[in-house]
Structure 1
Amino acid sequence: MHTLTDILIKQTGLSATAVTNILTLLEGGATVPFIARYRKEMTEGASDEALRDFEKIVESAKHLLERKADVARLISERSVLDSALKHRLEAAQTLSEVEDIFRPFKEKKNSRAQSAIQKGLEPLADVLEKGDEAMFYEKAKTYVGEKVASVEEAVTGAQDILAERFADAPREREAVRTLMLKHGVLEVKKTKTFDEKGAFVSLADAREKVAFIPSHRYLALMRGVKEKQLSVKMVVDVARIEANIYQYKLPKNAKNPFLFEAYKDGLKRLLLPSLEREVHGLLKARADTAAIDVFGKNLHQLLMSPPVQQRVILGVDPAFRTGCKLAVIDMEGTYLAHEVIYPTPPHNDTQGATAKVVALAKRYAITAVAIGNGTASRETQEFFAALNAKGEVVLPYTVVSEAGASVYSASKIASEEYPQLDVSIRGAISIAQRLRDPMAALVKIDPKALGIGQYQHDVDQKQLEKKLQDVTQDLVNRVGVDANSASVSLLGYVAGIGPKVAKAMVAHREAHGRFTCKADLLKVKGLGAKAYEQAAGFVRIKEGKSPLDNTGVHPESYPLALALLKNPDASPEGLMATFGAGEATLKDIVFELQKPGFDPREALPPLPFKEGVSDIGMLEEGSVVSGVVRNIVDFGVFVDIGLKNDGMIHLSKLSSKRVGHPLEVVSLNQYLPAIRVIGIDLARGKVSLSLVEEG
C-alpha cells in the first residue's frame, strides 16, 4: 500500500530523508519561511515555493489516503472487499479512480434501476447480460405477477439495471472520461437573453476543444453561463462509443438488441451527464489553479516592487468634481500634511491648485509625486506637467495603481492609523505610501482589491485566499521586517507571529520603548520560545545592541557568525565542524555579514519618474513609447504609457518567439523603455502595443 511518504517522494522528487524531515518540521509547527531559510540542510535546499507545493501535495495525499480507507470500510460493510478489489483500491493514484471503484457499491435512492431491483428483477438482468435474446425474453415472462405488470415492464426493468451497471463500471467510466478529455468539444450557444453588444460577443457560437481550452477562456465561458448569456454543452462522438460497445461489450455470439439498448441508455442517460459534470469540475479546478497562480505571481511582483527611499512624497488621489486629495509623507513614511486642489473640470482652478502645491513643495521639500491611476489621473498628470514647465518648482511624478486605496481608506486599519483624517485623505496617504514602500502599504489591503489578476471572484475563494496569504508571508519574510517601525499588518505576516502577537508587539514598544535586541521579543506577551524561533531571523533591529540584529542571521547561529567576524580567514570546514552547521547555512551567514540590512528589492530597476505627459492625439502607428506594466493576464499585458487608459500588448506581440504566458516575458511594475504603437482607437481611447521588432 502507498504511504504518505511514498506518495511525496514520487510527486516531489525529494529523497526519503528530506521528505521525512520536512514532514517532521511541519508537524512540529515550523513555518514554511523558517524551513526554507534556516533548515536548508534538512530539506535539500527546497525553496519556499517548493515547500508550498509540498504542503499542497501533503494535503492532497492525506485526503486520498483517507478516502481510500473510507471506501474500503464502506465496501466491507455493504459487500465483500475481496483481494482483487482491495489491490485495485490500494493501487489507485487519484480520487477519480477511488470514486470509480466505489461507485457500484454506493447506496442509490429513487433510481429506475433501484426500483427494478426492488421488484426482484436483478436475476433477469443477469440473464440479459449473458446476451441470449430468446432465453431472456422467455425468462422475462416468468416475472409477470404481483410486482411486475407485464413482460415489457420486466424487460425495461432488467435494462434499467444493466444501464446503471454500465454507467457505474470503472472501466467504462475511465474509457469515456479519457475520450471526453482528449476529444470532447465545448459547444457554446447564445441564450434567448443574449446581449449582442455585451461582454460575451466574442465567445458566442464558438467550439472549444476540452483538451486545449485556455483557463481564462473557460472561466469567461462559465461567467457567461452564470449571467445567462451563454449555454455550454459538452459534445463527444457518441456514435464511436456505441460502435465500441457493440463490438467489444456485447457477447460475441449473442448481439442481443435488448442488451445493446440497455447499454446505450446507460451511456446517454447516466454516464455522459455524470462525466460531463465531472469534466467541468476538472476544467474548473484547472482554470482556478491557473488563474490563482497568475494572481500569485502578479502579487509577488507587486509586493517586490522597489521602494522609493530618501524622498519626501506627495500622494495625489485624483478626482473631478470633488477635487484632488493631496497628502505629504516624509522619508520615514510619517504623515505630515494634506490639502485639496481643484485643477480638473468642472472647476479648472489651476491657479489656486498651483499655489497650494508650490506652498507644500517648498514647506516640506517634496521631491516626488505619486499620482493614482484612476478617474482624472490623465488630467492631473497634465496639471503637474504644466506646473513643472513653469519652473517655479519641479516635481518629478510617477503614476501608481490606486486599486484598493478606497478599500484601505474605509478599513478598520486606516481608521486606527489616521483617526483624525477624512477617508478621502487616507486614500492619498495610501497612494504615497505604496510608492515609498509598496510591501508595507499593500499588506494592509485585501489582495483581491488590488486589481492584479483576472476572474478573482470566479475562482475558489479559499484557494485564492491561501495563495495570497502564502505569497505575502513568503515575501515579507524574504525582505525582513523592522521590529521598531513596522505596522501591525506587516508584523502579522512574520513567520510565527500572526495578527494577535503583532498587536502585542506594537503595544509593547509603545509602552516600553523600542526593541534593543532580538531577545527583547521574548518580553512580548504571547510571544513564546517557539514563535521566537520562527520569527527571530526575519525581524530586523537597526542600531541595536548587536550588529547581527540587523541581519538575516538567526540568533541560533550568532556564535558561528561572531566567530567568523573575529576570524574571517577561518577554515569553513573547521567552522562547520565546531558549530555543527551545514554548508548552506554558512554561505547564508557570509552573505548576510557582507550585506547587513540587505533588501532584495533594491536590486530591481527603479520606477521611472517623468515631468511631461503624453497625449493619444500625438500618437500614430509606428510611434515608440515607454511605459510601466500595470496588470498581467493570460492573454496579454496592460501598460501605463501616460494616457487615460492603459495600452494593451497582446500575448502574440510580446516576443518574436512563441510565448506560453506573458509572465515568461514581463513582470508587474516593469519599466518598458521602447514599445511600438500598432493600433489606435481614438473613439474608445484604446492603444494597441507591441514589443516585437519589425522586419
Structure 2
Amino acid sequence: MCQERWNYVVETEGQIVKQIAAELSLPVGKVKTAVGLLDEGNTIPFIARYRKEMTGELDENQLRDIEERLRYLRGLEERKQEVIRLIDEQGKLTDELRGAILASTKLQEVEDLYRPYKQKRKTRASVAKERGLEPLADWIMTQPKSGDAISEAAKYIDEEKSVPTAEDALQGAMDIIAESIADNAKIRSWIRKFTFDQGIVQTEAKDAEQESVYEMYYAYQEPIRKLPPHRTLAINRGEREDVLKVKLVVPTDRVHDWIGGQVIKGVSIVSDLLRTTIEDAYKRLIEPSIDREVRGELTEKAETHAIAIFAENLRNLLLQPPVKGKVVLGVDPAYRTGCKLSVVDETGKMLEVAVTYPTPPANKVVEAKNKFHTLVDKYDVELIVIGNGTASRETEQFVAEFIKEEQASSRRHLQYLIVSEAGASVYSASKLAQEEFPDLDVAERSAVSIARRLQDPLAELVKIEPKAIGVGQYQHDVSQKHLEGSLTAVVESAVNHVGVDVNTASAALLSYVAGINATIARNIVAYREENGKFKKRAQLQKVPRLGAKTYEQCVGFMRISEGTDPLDNTPIHPESYEVVDRLLSELGASPKELASQLLRERLAALEPAALADKLSVGVPTLKDILDALQRPGRDPREELSPPIFRTDVLQIEDLAPGMELHGTVRNVIDFGAFVDIGIKNDGLVHISQLSNSYVKHPMDVVSIGDTVKVWVLSVDLKKGRVSLTMKDPHRS
C-alpha cells in the first residue's frame, strides 16, 4: 500500500472512530480501544468481561453499538470509493463532486450523488438524448428572455431520428430536463425530508365487506412522522396479503413551488414549459421513487424496533431462573394423537416416555390417571409441566383434577405449570434431537424438551432456532438475516452471562460460548466422552482445533464444578489466577478456604480501590474477582423470582371485574404485556394500565418472566379475552 493511501486509511479510520464516539456520546479513547480489540478478533462478551480497564468498562450493549456503527461506516467508506471510481471512469468526476461524496455521512447521500451517473436502463430521457435533443434541453435551461421555443425546437426536426415535429423535440428536451431534476441530490434530499415531515399515510380496504384483522385500517390515515413501528408492519402485512391499499399523500403544490424555486430563475419564455416539466418530474419520476424510499425507511425502522423488542424478550426468557432438584413429568398435550409424557430426573436425564388419551375424542380419563399415578409414584415426581399448545387447557383441567385426587389420597405435594412450547416441534424434528433421542418419535422428544424447559430454560432453549421461540411481534415480517444476527447475539450474551458447566453442557449450548463454533463445541463433547470429565480448565487446550486465541476467549465462561482448582468454578479468567494467589497471600489464606464463610466475610470487607495497586491489577477486574470469590458457582438467574406453580385450574367464567390475581408476564409488545393468569388465553395489560405514571414503553415496567399482581378490568366471554390492569383499584 502506497504511503498516500496508507495515510488516507489512517485518517479515515480516525474520523470513523470520532464519529462513532460523537454518535454514542462516548470518549474517543474508549471507542478507539474497543475498535482495536474487535479488529484483533476478540469477542464482545470477552471484551466486556475481561478488558474493562482497557475500554473504561464499556458494557456489551455499548460494544455491540460500536461494532454495528463500525461495520456501517466502513461499508459507507468502501461505497464512497467505489462511486468515486465509477464516476471517474466516465471522465465526469470533479473536485467538487469528490468532496461532496467524501463528506457524505449516510449511504443514501452517496447514492443520491451517484444517481445522475448511474447506468440506467432505457428511459424517455435516454431515448431523447439518442435523438440528439440534449442541446435543446441545454438551451431551455439557459431560460432565455426572448425568442420562441417552438422555433428553436423546429431546428431539431429529423424524421430519421423519430423527431417529426417541433412539439416532439420539445417533449424530448423536457424529458431530459425532468430526469435531470429527478436525479438532483439536493432536490431529492429535500423532498424526502418534506415527505417524512408533512406526508400522511392513507390506507383503505380493497374490499370493505371482507372481514379481517385489518379492519381498523379500512379507512385510516396518520402522519408519517407519527406512525408507530407496529402499525407500519401491520399495514405492510395487510398490503402484502392484498387486503389493504396504501399510499402516501403529500402537499403537491408546495413541492412544485419548492422545486420551481431551485430550477426557475425569474421570468423567461420557457417558464411555463419548466413548470410543466417540474410537475412531470415529480409525478412520474420523483414521487414514486421517494415513496418507495420513505416506506422502505419506515419499514427498516419498524423492523429494527421489532427485532429489538424480540431480542429483549428472548434475553429475559433465556434468563428465567432454573428449577433445580426436581423430578419433572413433561406433557405435550394433543387431542387425537394423545398426550405424550416424559419423566426426567433432577439432571434432565430422560427416565421414561409414555402416551395417554385424557382429552377428546378418546376421553380415556381413568386410564390416563392410572398412567400418571404410576409414573408419579415410580419416580417420585414433584412437578408436572404442560406445554401450552393444542389441548393444553383440557389437559390442564385433567392434571388439576389428578393432583387433587393424589393429594387427597397420598399426601403427595404435587404442583403443575404451563410453559410455552414455542419451538419445541422445531427442536423435536431437528438433527440435534434425532442425535440426542434416536429411539423416540417427534412428539416424545417434544415432551422431554417441555420438561427440561422448567429445569434449565437456557440449556434447553439454545437448541432451538432463536426466531422459532416466538416472543415478540411480527417476527415473520422482518428481515430474517437481521433478525437471526440479532437473536444469535442475544443468545450468546445470555449464555456467557450465566456461564456453562463444561462437563454437562450440550454441544448446542457450548457453541454459544465466546470464541466457540459448532465444530469446536462438538469436539469438546467428543473429548469429554472419550477422556471423561474435565478436571481443569487447562485441559480444554487439548481439544482439537481449540487454539490459544479461542482458549483465551472462551475459558472464563467455562465452569468445572468438581475440578481440582476451585477457581475453575468461577468467572475468574485464568490470566487472573496469579492475582488471586497474591490476594489470598495478602489475607494469609489458602485456596482450600474459599468455601468458608469467614473468608467470604473478609473478602466482602476489602476496599478494591485501596488494594488494586498493591496487587498489580485494575480496580474493575479486582471487583469482579472479589465478587466471584464470595459466590463461587453462583448462577445469576437464581436471584430472579421463581415461576408460579398451580394446583388448581382457573376458568374465564370464574373471573369478574376487580378480581385480584397473580400472573406471569409471557410477552411484552409495543402496546402492552400479555400475562398468564391461569386461563386458556393470556390477559392483556394495555400500556395505559401498566402504571399510574406515564409509560413510554411497556419494557420500562415489565419483562418476560416477571411475576405481577393484576386486577381484572373486563371479560369478553365470546372472544375469550380478558383485560387486566396493574393499577391498584383500591388506591386513590
Please name the residue that 2:235 is paired with: 221
Please name the residue that 1:616 is paired with: 652
Paired residues for 1:426-575 under 5 Å: 426-568=445-587
Please name the residue that 2:80 is paired with: 68
Please name the residue that 2:304 is paired with: 289
Please name the residue that 2:594 is paired with: none
Q: What TM-score, normalized by structure 1, do the two folds share?
A: 0.96
Deviates more, 1:108-117 or 1:276-285: 108-117
Please name the residue that 1:370 is paired with: 385
How far off its partner does 1:693 sit? 3.4
Please name the residue that 2:154 is paired with: 141
Asked whether the equivalents of residues 335 and 391 of structure 2 are also in contact (C-alpha less than 8 Å), the reply is yes
Match of 1:383 among 388, 391, 398: 398
Please name the residue that 2:354 is paired with: 339
How far off its partner does 1:683 sit? 1.9
Q: Determine the C-alpha separation between the residues in 2 that align with 1:369 and 1:283.
A: 45
How far off its partner does 1:579 sit? 5.7
Asked whether the equivalents of residues 560 and 575 of structure 1 are also in contact (C-alpha less than 8 Å), the reply is no
Q: Determine the C-alpha separation between the residues in 1 that align with 2:138 and 2:218.
A: 47
The one-letter amino acid of 1:251's match is: K
Q: Determine the C-alpha separation between the residues in 1 that align with 2:215 and 2:259.
A: 40
The one-letter amino acid of 2:265's match is: P
Deviates more, 1:288-297 or 1:255-264: 255-264
Question: Relative to 1, partners in 2 of residues 1:336 and 1:84: Cα closer, same or farther, differing over 3 Å?
Answer: same
| Corresponding position: 1:6 with 2:18 | yes
How far off its partner does 1:556 sit? 0.5
Question: Relative to 1, partners in 2 of residues 1:434 and 1:81: Cα closer, same or farther, differing over 3 Å?
Answer: same
Q: Determine the C-alpha separation between the residues in 1 that align with 2:391 and 2:465.
A: 24
Asked whether the equivalents of residues 205 and 217 of structure 2 are also in contact (C-alpha less than 8 Å), the reply is no
The one-letter amino acid of 2:215's match is: V
The one-letter amino acid of 2:675's match is: V
| Corresponding position: 1:177 with 2:192 | yes
Please name the residue that 1:210 is paired with: 224
Deviates more, 1:581-590 or 1:73-82: 73-82
| Alignment coverage as a number of residue pairs | 693
Please name the residue that 1:165 is paired with: 180
Superposed CA offset, 1:126-147 (max 9, x none)? 2212323653333222222353
Secondary structure (helix, strand or coil) at the match of 1:362 reads helix
Asked whether the equivalents of residues 480 and 539 of structure 1 are also in contact (C-alpha less than 8 Å), the reply is yes
Q: What TM-score, normalized by structure 2, do the two folds share?
A: 0.92
Superposed CA offset, 1:588-646 (max 9, x none)? 11111111111111111111111111111111222222211112222222221111112
Q: Determine the C-alpha separation between the residues in 1 that align with 2:430 and 2:259.
A: 62
| Corresponding position: 1:689 with 2:724 | yes
Asked whether the equivalents of residues 378 and 642 of structure 1 are also in contact (C-alpha less than 8 Å), the reply is no
Asked whether the equivalents of residues 608 and 623 of structure 2 are also in contact (C-alpha less than 8 Å), the reply is no
Match of 1:593 among 621, 629, 640: 629
How far off its partner does 1:87 sit? 2.2
Q: Determine the C-alpha separation between the residues in 1 that align with 2:562 and 2:456.
A: 21
Superposed CA offset, 1:632-671 (max 9, x none)? 2222222211111121222222223332322111111211
Q: Determine the C-alpha separation between the residues in 1 that align with 2:297 and 2:392.
A: 42
| Corresponding position: 1:32 with 2:47 | no
Asked whether the equivalents of residues 187 and 234 of structure 1 are also in contact (C-alpha less than 8 Å), the reply is yes
Question: Relative to 1, partners in 2 of residues 1:247 and 1:411: Cα closer, same or farther, differing over 3 Å?
Answer: closer
How far off its partner does 1:360 sit? 1.8
Q: Determine the C-alpha separation between the residues in 2 that align with 1:342 and 1:481.
A: 38
How far off its partner does 1:692 sit? 2.7
Match of 1:53 among 52, 65, 90: 65
The one-letter amino acid of 1:404's match is: G
| Corresponding position: 1:252 with 2:266 | yes
How far off its partner does 1:418 sit? 1.3
| Corresponding position: 1:640 with 2:676 | yes
Deviates more, 1:26-35 or 1:532-541: 26-35
In structure 2, list runs of 5 or more residues that go unmatched.
1-10, 588-601
Secondary structure (helix, strand or coil) at the match of 2:247 reads strand
Please name the residue that 2:166 is paired with: 151
How far off its partner does 1:298 sit? 0.7
How far off its partner does 1:63 sit? 1.1
Q: Determine the C-alpha separation between the residues in 2 that align with 1:123 and 1:378.
A: 78
Paired residues for 1:78-97 under 5 Å: 78-97=90-109
Match of 1:261 among 264, 276, 285: 276
How far off its partner does 1:195 sit? 6.5
Asked whether the equivalents of residues 130 and 251 of structure 1 are also in contact (C-alpha less than 8 Å), the reply is no
Please name the residue that 1:412 is paired with: 431
How far off its partner does 1:108 sit? 2.6
How far off its partner does 1:682 sit? 1.3
| Corresponding position: 1:316 with 2:352 | no
Deviates more, 1:545-554 or 1:678-687: 678-687
Secondary structure (helix, strand or coil) at the match of 2:684 reads strand
Please name the residue that 1:234 is paired with: 248
Counting aligned pairs with the same residue, the percent is: 45
Match of 1:582 among 602, 610, 618: 618
Secondary structure (helix, strand or coil) at the match of 2:440 reads coil
Q: Determine the C-alpha separation between the residues in 2 that align with 1:441 and 1:274.
A: 47
How far off its partner does 1:537 sit? 0.1
In structure 1, list runs of 5 or more residues that go unmatched.
none
Paired residues for 1:392-411 under 5 Å: 392=409, 393-411=412-430
Superposed CA offset, 1:403-460 (max 9, x none)? 1111111111111111122221111111110000000000001122112122111111
How far off its partner does 1:320 sit? 2.3
Q: Determine the C-alpha separation between the residues in 2 that align with 1:618 and 1:563.
A: 64
Please name the residue that 1:122 is paired with: 134
Q: Determine the C-alpha separation between the residues in 2 that align with 1:76 and 1:337.
A: 72
Q: Determine the C-alpha separation between the residues in 2 that align with 1:400 and 1:452.
A: 13
Secondary structure (helix, strand or coil) at the match of 2:331 reads strand
Q: Determine the C-alpha separation between the residues in 2 that align with 1:446 and 1:124.
A: 61
| Corresponding position: 1:243 with 2:257 | yes
Q: Determine the C-alpha separation between the residues in 2 that align with 1:527 and 1:654.
A: 49
Q: Determine the C-alpha separation between the residues in 2 that align with 1:177 and 1:110.
A: 25
Secondary structure (helix, strand or coil) at the match of 2:18 reads helix
The one-letter amino acid of 2:124's match is: R
Secondary structure (helix, strand or coil) at the match of 1:273 reads helix
Secondary structure (helix, strand or coil) at the match of 2:422 reads coil
Secondary structure (helix, strand or coil) at the match of 2:225 reads coil
State the Cα RMSD in Å.
1.8
Q: Determine the C-alpha separation between the residues in 2 that align with 1:331 and 1:385.
A: 23
Asked whether the equivalents of residues 515 and 553 of structure 2 are also in contact (C-alpha less than 8 Å), the reply is yes
Deviates more, 1:331-340 or 1:439-448: 331-340
Q: Determine the C-alpha separation between the residues in 2 that align with 1:128 and 1:580.
A: 77
Please name the residue that 1:675 is paired with: 710
Please name the residue that 1:651 is paired with: 687
Q: Determine the C-alpha separation between the residues in 2 that align with 1:464 and 1:305.
A: 22
Asked whether the equivalents of residues 187 and 259 of structure 2 are also in contact (C-alpha less than 8 Å), the reply is no
The one-letter amino acid of 1:69's match is: Q
Superposed CA offset, 1:52-92 (max 9, x none)? 11111011101111111111112222244333222222221
Deviates more, 1:65-74 or 1:482-491: 65-74
Q: Determine the C-alpha separation between the residues in 2 that align with 1:362 and 1:680.
A: 40
Q: Determine the C-alpha separation between the residues in 1 that align with 2:398 and 2:537.
A: 48
How far off its partner does 1:571 sit? 8.1
Please name the residue that 2:599 is paired with: none
Q: Determine the C-alpha separation between the residues in 2 that align with 1:513 and 1:356.
A: 37
Q: Determine the C-alpha separation between the residues in 2 that align with 1:253 and 1:202.
A: 49
Q: Determine the C-alpha separation between the residues in 1 that align with 2:312 and 2:34.
A: 24
Question: Relative to 1, partners in 2 of residues 1:60 and 1:231: Cα closer, same or farther, differing over 3 Å?
Answer: same
The one-letter amino acid of 2:367's match is: G
Match of 1:188 among 203, 208, 218: 203
The one-letter amino acid of 2:471's match is: I
